[in-house]
């Protein structure tokens, strides 16, 4: 159990610290995803309700992490609960393991909302969605290299776990970045087959793409890097134009931005149609989910009726390598799709999304006033219902610009905010929900004021 000499987030988080120490005995590093850890110990949560989280010590927090943006309706929304309960009660089971009608209904919904989607395949996470989109691009083009942008995260697997947060000493020229692995265990063949691009620099990006065009299957991009650094309109238009010219597929990773910047994602905001789109997070209403959507000609490379199931033992098929294999027992899980459809239905009601965007804008402006009054250089940057706080007035266009911000001060503020009941993992972006209300926002503004009083004045 927690010793008296071990550091705590605060004197009121002893039980979290004890449970984390216990978790370390049975779970490597004490967490099941590296991003869930922060020192000296993460907070162990017990309950969620609307805009609030409650930890094992009984502390209440206004939640701005919202499971990294997935819970756009907040915790325990009655429409989602009801949809899940109705689905299981009506179906008499949690899952069929066969095709079912909700798969069609969700696909029709996504096709209606997203300009770049004509057909849909389901996965169980945003990670799997980007992975499938990349495989589709390689299968369609017959080319093996992938281009991704420095600072962009598309999931924790080999092909994209490169140059997400590289050390400046090894990152190379900002106009022609090096390929930097972000984990041990990544093979050299992945590094050789990946090209790194500079985000929001069209001239340099175009030059690199033209140099590697004969080998590149696709460019994958977060239209809003990290969920909070938006691409420039001119950059996105130029990227679409050059990829079309060179026959390179353009993949939008909208796992973070889907439904959060607009119902139709960032592609609606930029009025740009990608070849393939990866979705996740909000799409599942709080359940694990992912989906790949795109133009029919690209999606059809995965059509099961064009080839056999490779798991059918003993049956030979000389054409099996002509078809992209994609499968998963839980793909298109009916309970998950019921939750996702309920979420989308709520977002489409009246002016729900518009009001959410307005609340987000208001909170951003009020927070900027607080920091300005303290004389601290600060800006909120983001899009739609997601934003981040950067302690600098310098323009932020890409990953390398982030070094302009005062990260030490931001860390101190974030830890003080935890003590004042504002839950945001240190350094992370803020995600708003439809259930955050004026009291939450007022308490958040006051917490920032108090945190600054403690950090700046002492």
**Which pLDDT score is estimated for 418?**
97
Domain locations in the chain as residue ranges: 78-348, 352-457
Catalytic residues: 153, 253, 281
CATH code, 78-348: 3.40.640.10
Residue 263 has which token pair? 């119902």
What CA–CA distance (Å, rounded) separates 227 from 429? 7
| pTM confidence score | 0.95
Q: Output the CA–CA distances (angstroms, integers) from residue 120 to 15, 116, 124, 141, in the order listed.
A: 44, 11, 13, 19
Paired residues of 394 in beta bridges: none
By the 8 A CB rule, do 383 and 293 touch?
no
Domains 78-348 and 352-457 equal at CATH topology level: no
Residue 116 has which token pair? 């770049």
CB atoms near residue 135 (< 10 Å): 19
Q: With residue 224 as reference, give the H or E element that holds it.
A: strand 224-225
Q: Among residues 191, 192, 169, 195, which one has the least CA distance to residue 182?
A: 191
**Which pLDDT score is estimated for 295?**
96
By the 8 A CB rule, do 270 and 223 touch?
yes
- Tokens 């770049």 correspond to 116
**Which pLDDT score is estimated for 300?**
95
What CA–CA distance (Å, rounded) separates 198 from 177? 7
Report, as ranges of residue numbers, the positions in the chain whose pLDDT lies below 50.
1-3
**Which pLDDT score is estimated for 304?**
76
- Tokens 């899940």 correspond to 84
What CA–CA distance (Å, rounded) separates 121 from 132? 9
Topology at the third CATH level for domain 352-457? 3.90.1150
| Percent helix, percent strand, percent coil in the chain, to nearest 5 | 45, 15, 40
By the 8 A CB rule, do 210 and 178 touch?
no
């Amino acid at each position: 159990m927690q010793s008296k000499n071990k550091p705590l987030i605060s004197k009121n988080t002893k039980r979290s610290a004890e449970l984390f120490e216990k978790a370390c005995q049975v779970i490597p590093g004490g967490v099941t995803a590296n991003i869930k850890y922060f020192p000296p110990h993460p907070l162990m949560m017990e309950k969620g309700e609307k805009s609030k989280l409650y930890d094992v010590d009984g502390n209440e927090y206004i939640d701005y992490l919202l499971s990294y943006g997935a819970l756009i309706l907040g915790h325990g929304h009655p429409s989602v609960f009801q949809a899940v309960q109705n689905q299981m009660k009506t179906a008499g089971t949690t899952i069929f393991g066969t095709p079912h009608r909700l798969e069609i209904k969700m696909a029709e919904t996504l096709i209606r909302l997203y300009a770049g989607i004509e057909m849909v395949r389901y996965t169980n996470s945003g990670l799997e969605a980007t992975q499938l989109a990349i495989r589709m691009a390689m299968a369609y083009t017959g080319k093996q290299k992938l281009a991704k942008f420095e600072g962009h995260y598309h999931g924790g697997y080999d092909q994209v776990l490169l140059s997400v947060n590289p050390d400046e000493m090894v990152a190379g020229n900002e106009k022609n970045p090096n390929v930097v692995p972000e984990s041990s265990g990544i093979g050299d063949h992945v590094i050789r087959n990946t090209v790194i691009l500079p985000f929001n620099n069209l001239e340099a990006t175009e030059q690199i793409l033209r140099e590697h065009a004969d080998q590149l299957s696709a460019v994958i991009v977060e239209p809003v890097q990290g969920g909070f650094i938006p691409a420039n309109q001119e950059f996105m238009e130029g990227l679409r134009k050059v990829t079309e010219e060179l026959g390179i597929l353009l993949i939008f990773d909208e796992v973070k931005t889907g439904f959060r910047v607009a119902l139709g994602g960032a592609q609606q905001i930029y009025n740009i149609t990608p070849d393939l789109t990866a979705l996740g997070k909000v799409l599942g209403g709080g359940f694990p989910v992912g989906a790949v959507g795109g133009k029919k000609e690209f999606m059809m490379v995965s059509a099961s009726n064009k080839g056999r199931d490779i798991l059918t033992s003993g049956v030979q098929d000389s054409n099996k390598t002509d078809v992209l294999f994609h499968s998963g027992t839980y793909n298109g899980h009916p309970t998950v799709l019921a939750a996702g459809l309920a979420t989308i239905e709520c977002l489409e009601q009246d002016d729900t999304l518009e009001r959410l965007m307005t609340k987000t804008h208001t909170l951003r402006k009020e927070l900027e006033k607080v920091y300005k009054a303290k004389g601290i250089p600060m800006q909120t940057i983001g899009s739609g219902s997601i934003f981040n706080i950067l302690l600098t007035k310098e323009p932020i266009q890409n990953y390398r610009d982030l070094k302009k911000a005062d990260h030490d001060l931001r860390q101190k503020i974030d830890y003080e905010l935890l003590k004042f009941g504002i839950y945001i993992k240190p350094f992370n972006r803020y995600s708003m929900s439809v259930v955050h209300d004026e009291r939450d926002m007022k308490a958040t503004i006051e917490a920032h004021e108090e945190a600054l009083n403690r950090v700046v004045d002492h």
